[in-house]
Amino acid sequence: MSESSGPAHRPSAVAGPWSVPVLFRERRPRVVVKADLLPAVSVLGTLTLLSFPLAFAWSRLAPPERVRIVDADGTQGALELESWHRFDDLAIFGFLLLGLGIVVGVVVWLLRERRGPVVFLAAVLGVALAGALAMLLGVGWANSHYAISSPPALGSVIELAPRLESWWVLLTGPLGVSIAYSLLATWNGRDDLGRRLG
């Protein structure tokens, strides 16, 4: 006589996540690419136009460097502490670009239905491009603003146009966008970043 078989072995109802039916698993939102491409191009183009006011503001705010004409052939001699303005010119441009990046990061975040990496990357590239164009335009406008119409006399003090001597300053704009957008995304805490209005 065979041993009486007990009740059939059934898997525990509280098994691991592999026992959860697929229909009831939470579906994580995916990155939207196609729908965000046209808005991303619009963001990129709009931000490029910001290079004009940025360049104009820098060309008027950046201080010139004053030098003295020490020879009849136009040789320039540095005045005390005036060479510091070369750093001032760079710092002013960096702070302007950083502020622009922070404002752009917040404004792009407010485009609720387009939140995500596609528009974020467009904002980063747009601010970087705007900064590069503003750097070229600003130096040109500053040169025309401080142009010397006639040869300076011996012993006179002239003002040299502001200049930007490092391209590394262009990193401040994308940094501002990244900081602002990342902080807002972290504070939001939703998987879809709140894209769905419902």
Listed in sequence order, the residues at least 6 apart from 179 whose beta carbon sits closer than 8 Å to its beta carbon are: 101, 102, 105
DSSP H or E run through 66: strand 65-69
Higher-pLDDT residue of 69 and 103 is 103
Residue 108's pLDDT band (cuts 50, 70, 90): very high
Structure confidence by residue, pLDDT tens digits, 38-76: 888 999 999 999 999 999 999 999 998 877 777 766 666
What is the rounded distance in angstroms from the CA atom of residue 108 to the CA atom of residue 125? Answer: 13
Cut 0.95: pTM above it: no
Contact between 171 and 97 under an 8 Å Cβ cutoff? The reply is: no
DSSP 71-92: STT--EEEPTTGGGHHHHHHHH
Structure confidence by residue, pLDDT tens digits, 9-30: 554 444 455 544 544 455 565 6
Please name the amino acid found at residue 184: L
Structure confidence by residue, pLDDT tens digits, 125-174: 999 999 999 999 999 999 888 777 777 777 667 777 898 989 999 999 99
What is the rounded distance in angstroms from the CA atom of residue 105 to the CA atom of residue 176? Answer: 7
